[in-house]
Amino acid sequence: PLVRVREEAEEAFVRKEPHAGKGLFWTGFFIILLLTYISVAGAVSAANSPVTIVSAGTPLRTDYPDWLEALNWMKENLPEDAVIACWWDYGYWIRIIANRTTLADNGTLNMTQIQWIARMFLSNETEALKILRRFGATHVLVFVTFRSDGTDARYGDEQKWHWMAEIASDRWPEFSEDHFGEYKGGRWEWNERGRETVIYKLITYAKAQVATGRVSEPTLEHFSLAFISHGPQKGGVYVRVAIYEILYT
Protein backbone atom coordinates (compact mmCIF):
# COMPACT_ATOMS: atom_id res chain seq x y z
CA PRO A 1 0.00 0.00 0.00
CA LEU A 2 2.80 2.39 0.85
CA VAL A 3 4.41 1.74 -2.53
CA ARG A 4 1.06 2.30 -4.25
CA VAL A 5 0.54 5.62 -2.46
CA ARG A 6 4.03 6.71 -3.45
CA GLU A 7 3.42 5.78 -7.09
CA GLU A 8 0.12 7.70 -7.14
CA ALA A 9 1.82 10.71 -5.63
CA GLU A 10 4.56 10.61 -8.26
CA GLU A 11 1.95 10.29 -11.02
CA ALA A 12 0.07 13.28 -9.63
CA PHE A 13 3.29 15.31 -9.53
CA VAL A 14 4.12 14.37 -13.10
CA ARG A 15 0.61 15.30 -14.24
CA LYS A 16 0.82 18.75 -12.62
CA GLU A 17 4.27 19.57 -13.94
CA PRO A 18 3.20 20.46 -17.50
CA HIS A 19 0.38 22.67 -16.20
CA ALA A 20 2.76 24.58 -13.95
CA GLY A 21 5.15 25.01 -16.85
CA LYS A 22 2.39 26.32 -19.09
CA GLY A 23 1.29 28.74 -16.39
CA LEU A 24 4.79 30.12 -16.01
CA PHE A 25 5.14 30.34 -19.78
CA TRP A 26 1.97 32.37 -20.25
CA THR A 27 2.79 34.58 -17.27
CA GLY A 28 6.22 35.31 -18.71
CA PHE A 29 4.77 35.86 -22.17
CA PHE A 30 2.24 38.34 -20.80
CA ILE A 31 4.94 40.29 -18.93
CA ILE A 32 7.16 40.46 -22.02
CA LEU A 33 4.19 41.57 -24.13
CA LEU A 34 3.31 44.27 -21.60
CA LEU A 35 6.89 45.55 -21.42
CA THR A 36 7.10 45.58 -25.21
CA TYR A 37 3.87 47.60 -25.42
CA ILE A 38 5.11 50.10 -22.86
CA SER A 39 8.45 50.40 -24.65
CA VAL A 40 6.83 50.91 -28.06
CA ALA A 41 4.27 53.36 -26.66
CA GLY A 42 7.08 55.34 -25.06
CA ALA A 43 9.06 55.31 -28.29
CA VAL A 44 6.05 56.54 -30.27
CA SER A 45 5.46 59.30 -27.72
CA ALA A 46 9.13 60.30 -27.82
CA ALA A 47 9.16 60.23 -31.62
CA ASN A 48 6.14 62.54 -31.62
CA SER A 49 7.97 65.04 -29.39
CA PRO A 50 10.38 67.38 -31.21
CA VAL A 51 13.97 67.68 -30.06
CA THR A 52 14.02 70.15 -27.17
CA ILE A 53 15.79 72.90 -29.07
CA VAL A 54 13.39 72.51 -32.04
CA SER A 55 10.42 72.95 -29.73
CA ALA A 56 12.29 75.93 -28.24
CA GLY A 57 12.62 74.41 -24.81
CA THR A 58 8.86 74.05 -24.34
CA PRO A 59 6.91 70.82 -23.70
CA LEU A 60 4.65 71.64 -26.66
CA ARG A 61 4.70 69.18 -29.55
CA THR A 62 5.31 71.77 -32.20
CA ASP A 63 8.32 73.29 -33.91
CA TYR A 64 9.42 76.79 -32.96
CA PRO A 65 12.32 78.29 -34.96
CA ASP A 66 13.13 80.92 -32.36
CA TRP A 67 16.06 79.32 -30.55
CA LEU A 68 17.74 78.20 -33.76
CA GLU A 69 17.22 81.68 -35.21
CA ALA A 70 18.73 83.29 -32.10
CA LEU A 71 21.72 80.94 -31.99
CA ASN A 72 22.46 81.55 -35.65
CA TRP A 73 22.20 85.31 -35.12
CA MET A 74 24.66 85.15 -32.23
CA LYS A 75 27.09 83.09 -34.26
CA GLU A 76 26.94 85.45 -37.24
CA ASN A 77 26.66 88.84 -35.52
CA LEU A 78 28.18 88.86 -32.04
CA PRO A 79 31.93 89.39 -31.62
CA GLU A 80 33.89 86.24 -30.85
CA ASP A 81 34.78 87.62 -27.43
CA ALA A 82 31.14 88.35 -26.51
CA VAL A 83 30.01 87.03 -23.12
CA ILE A 84 26.30 86.28 -22.70
CA ALA A 85 24.58 86.33 -19.33
CA CYS A 86 21.56 84.05 -19.28
CA TRP A 87 20.04 81.40 -17.08
CA TRP A 88 22.21 78.28 -17.05
CA ASP A 89 19.63 76.14 -18.94
CA TYR A 90 20.61 77.70 -22.26
CA GLY A 91 24.36 77.98 -21.78
CA TYR A 92 25.21 74.72 -23.49
CA TRP A 93 23.27 75.59 -26.66
CA ILE A 94 24.99 78.97 -26.85
CA ARG A 95 28.44 77.54 -26.24
CA ILE A 96 28.17 74.62 -28.68
CA ILE A 97 25.94 75.95 -31.47
CA ALA A 98 26.62 79.70 -31.41
CA ASN A 99 30.22 79.22 -30.26
CA ARG A 100 29.97 82.06 -27.77
CA THR A 101 30.85 82.28 -24.09
CA THR A 102 28.21 82.26 -21.35
CA LEU A 103 28.48 82.83 -17.61
CA ALA A 104 27.06 79.37 -16.86
CA ASP A 105 25.79 76.26 -18.58
CA ASN A 106 24.50 72.78 -17.78
CA GLY A 107 27.97 71.68 -16.69
CA THR A 108 28.62 74.55 -14.29
CA LEU A 109 29.51 73.16 -10.87
CA ASN A 110 30.16 76.57 -9.32
CA MET A 111 26.88 77.20 -7.48
CA THR A 112 28.17 80.56 -6.26
CA GLN A 113 28.32 81.84 -9.84
CA ILE A 114 24.78 80.64 -10.55
CA GLN A 115 23.63 82.40 -7.37
CA TRP A 116 25.19 85.64 -8.62
CA ILE A 117 23.44 85.27 -11.99
CA ALA A 118 20.14 84.76 -10.16
CA ARG A 119 20.81 87.83 -8.04
CA MET A 120 21.64 89.87 -11.14
CA PHE A 121 18.31 89.05 -12.75
CA LEU A 122 16.44 89.91 -9.55
CA SER A 123 18.27 93.21 -9.00
CA ASN A 124 17.41 96.62 -10.37
CA GLU A 125 19.40 97.86 -13.36
CA THR A 126 21.97 99.76 -11.32
CA GLU A 127 22.83 96.82 -9.07
CA ALA A 128 22.68 94.32 -11.93
CA LEU A 129 25.18 96.39 -13.89
CA LYS A 130 27.75 95.98 -11.10
CA ILE A 131 27.41 92.19 -11.21
CA LEU A 132 27.54 92.05 -15.00
CA ARG A 133 30.65 94.24 -15.06
CA ARG A 134 32.30 91.97 -12.50
CA PHE A 135 31.82 88.95 -14.79
CA GLY A 136 32.69 90.79 -17.99
CA ALA A 137 29.31 90.21 -19.64
CA THR A 138 28.52 92.03 -22.88
CA HIS A 139 24.94 90.83 -23.46
CA VAL A 140 21.96 89.46 -21.54
CA LEU A 141 19.59 86.89 -23.01
CA VAL A 142 16.04 86.08 -21.87
CA PHE A 143 13.67 83.41 -23.11
CA VAL A 144 9.98 84.36 -23.01
CA THR A 145 6.72 82.51 -23.75
CA PHE A 146 3.33 84.19 -23.74
CA ARG A 147 -0.12 84.29 -25.30
CA SER A 148 -1.47 86.89 -27.71
CA ASP A 149 -3.03 88.88 -24.86
CA GLY A 150 0.36 89.14 -23.18
CA THR A 151 -0.31 86.69 -20.36
CA ASP A 152 2.49 84.32 -19.42
CA ALA A 153 2.59 80.84 -20.93
CA ARG A 154 5.05 79.82 -18.17
CA TYR A 155 7.50 77.84 -20.27
CA GLY A 156 10.32 80.38 -20.21
CA ASP A 157 12.07 82.76 -17.83
CA GLU A 158 8.71 84.19 -16.79
CA GLN A 159 8.38 80.96 -14.81
CA LYS A 160 12.03 80.14 -14.17
CA TRP A 161 12.58 83.34 -12.23
CA HIS A 162 10.93 81.58 -9.29
CA TRP A 163 13.88 79.16 -9.30
CA MET A 164 16.24 82.12 -9.56
CA ALA A 165 14.68 83.51 -6.39
CA GLU A 166 14.95 80.12 -4.70
CA ILE A 167 18.64 79.83 -5.54
CA ALA A 168 19.53 83.44 -4.74
CA SER A 169 17.68 83.38 -1.42
CA ASP A 170 19.78 80.44 -0.23
CA ARG A 171 22.58 82.99 0.12
CA TRP A 172 20.65 86.26 0.37
CA PRO A 173 17.27 85.78 2.12
CA GLU A 174 16.04 89.16 0.91
CA PHE A 175 15.82 87.70 -2.62
CA SER A 176 13.09 85.16 -1.84
CA GLU A 177 10.14 85.43 -4.22
CA ASP A 178 7.75 86.92 -1.65
CA HIS A 179 9.85 90.11 -1.75
CA PHE A 180 8.83 90.67 -5.38
CA GLY A 181 5.08 90.13 -5.33
CA GLU A 182 2.38 87.60 -4.52
CA TYR A 183 -0.18 85.27 -6.03
CA LYS A 184 -3.68 86.67 -6.42
CA GLY A 185 -6.46 84.57 -7.88
CA GLY A 186 -3.94 81.99 -9.05
CA ARG A 187 -1.86 84.56 -10.94
CA TRP A 188 1.41 86.16 -9.95
CA GLU A 189 1.33 89.92 -9.44
CA TRP A 190 4.59 91.83 -9.21
CA ASN A 191 5.00 94.53 -6.59
CA GLU A 192 6.96 97.76 -7.06
CA ARG A 193 10.30 96.12 -6.32
CA GLY A 194 9.49 93.25 -8.67
CA ARG A 195 8.71 95.60 -11.53
CA GLU A 196 12.16 97.16 -11.16
CA THR A 197 14.01 93.86 -11.55
CA VAL A 198 16.04 93.18 -14.67
CA ILE A 199 14.21 89.92 -15.34
CA TYR A 200 10.81 91.64 -15.26
CA LYS A 201 11.92 94.54 -17.46
CA LEU A 202 13.65 92.44 -20.11
CA ILE A 203 10.81 89.93 -20.30
CA THR A 204 8.14 92.63 -20.47
CA TYR A 205 10.07 94.65 -23.06
CA ALA A 206 10.29 91.56 -25.29
CA LYS A 207 6.57 90.82 -24.89
CA ALA A 208 5.70 94.43 -25.74
CA GLN A 209 7.33 94.02 -29.17
CA VAL A 210 4.58 91.53 -30.06
CA ALA A 211 1.62 92.26 -27.80
CA THR A 212 1.51 95.91 -28.81
CA GLY A 213 -1.12 97.85 -26.88
CA ARG A 214 -1.63 94.97 -24.47
CA VAL A 215 1.76 95.07 -22.76
CA SER A 216 3.35 98.36 -21.74
CA GLU A 217 6.98 98.76 -22.75
CA PRO A 218 9.16 99.51 -19.69
CA THR A 219 11.98 102.04 -19.80
CA LEU A 220 15.45 100.51 -20.10
CA GLU A 221 18.46 102.54 -18.97
CA HIS A 222 21.36 100.12 -19.30
CA PHE A 223 20.09 97.64 -21.88
CA SER A 224 19.38 97.96 -25.59
CA LEU A 225 17.48 95.32 -27.56
CA ALA A 226 19.94 93.89 -30.10
CA PHE A 227 17.89 90.94 -31.33
CA ILE A 228 14.50 89.32 -30.88
CA SER A 229 13.33 86.15 -32.62
CA HIS A 230 10.39 86.23 -35.03
CA GLY A 231 8.77 82.79 -34.86
CA PRO A 232 5.02 82.55 -35.52
CA GLN A 233 2.44 81.90 -32.85
CA LYS A 234 1.69 78.19 -32.51
CA GLY A 235 -0.76 76.48 -30.24
CA GLY A 236 -1.82 79.89 -28.97
CA VAL A 237 1.70 80.57 -27.68
CA TYR A 238 4.43 82.97 -28.79
CA VAL A 239 8.06 82.12 -28.11
CA ARG A 240 10.70 84.84 -28.08
CA VAL A 241 14.43 84.79 -27.49
CA ALA A 242 15.58 88.34 -26.79
CA ILE A 243 19.21 89.48 -26.61
CA TYR A 244 20.13 92.81 -25.07
CA GLU A 245 23.39 94.68 -25.34
CA ILE A 246 24.62 95.96 -21.98
CA LEU A 247 25.20 99.72 -21.89
CA TYR A 248 27.90 100.37 -19.32
CA THR A 249 28.26 104.06 -20.10
Kindly indicate the confidence band of residue 16, based on its pLDDT and cuts at 50, 70 and 90: very low
Cα distances (angstroms) measured from residue 154 to each of 59, 86, 113, 162? 11, 17, 25, 11
Q: Assign 63 a pLDDT band (cuts: 50, 70, 90).
A: confident
The predicted structure's pLDDT at residue 54: 58
Write down the mean pLDDT value for the chain: 83
Confidence bin at 55 (pLDDT 50/70/90): low
Is the model more confident about 98 or about 107?
98
- Fold (CATH) for 66-246: Rossmann fold (3.40.50)
Residue 79's contacts (CB-CB under 8 Å, 6 or more residues apart) are: 138
CA distance 205 to 160: 17
Q: Given pLDDT bands bounded at 50, 70 and 90, which one contains residue 59? A: low
Does the pLDDT of residue 57 top 90, yes or no? no
Decide which of 114 and 28 is more confident: 114
Q: For 211-221, how does the pLDDT look when each residue is reduced to its tens digit (9 = 90+)?
A: 999 999 999 99
Of 238 and 61, the structure prediction assigns the larger pLDDT to 238
Looking at residue 8, its pLDDT comes to: 45
Alpha-carbon gap, residue 197 to 118, rounded angstroms? 11
Residue 21 has a pLDDT of 54
Q: What is the mean pLDDT of residues 68-76?
A: 97
Say whether pLDDT at 86 is over 90.
Answer: yes
Q: C-alpha angle with apex 50: 153 to 56, nearest 5 degrees? A: 40
Percent of the chain with pLDDT strictly greater than 90: 67
DSSP state string for the chain: -HHHHHHHHHHHHHHHHHHHHHHHHHHHHHHHHHHHHHHHHHHHHHHTSPPTTTTTTSSSSS---HHHHHHHHHHHHS-TT-EEE--GGGHHHIIIII--EES--TT---HHHHHHHHHHHTS-HHHHHHHHHHHT--EEEEEEEE-TTS-B-SSSHHHHHHHHHHHHHTT-GGGSGGGSEEEETTEEEE-TTGGGSHHHHHHHHHHHTTSBTTBPPPP-SSEEEEEE--PPPBTTBEEEEEEEEE---
What is the pLDDT at residue 100?
Answer: 98
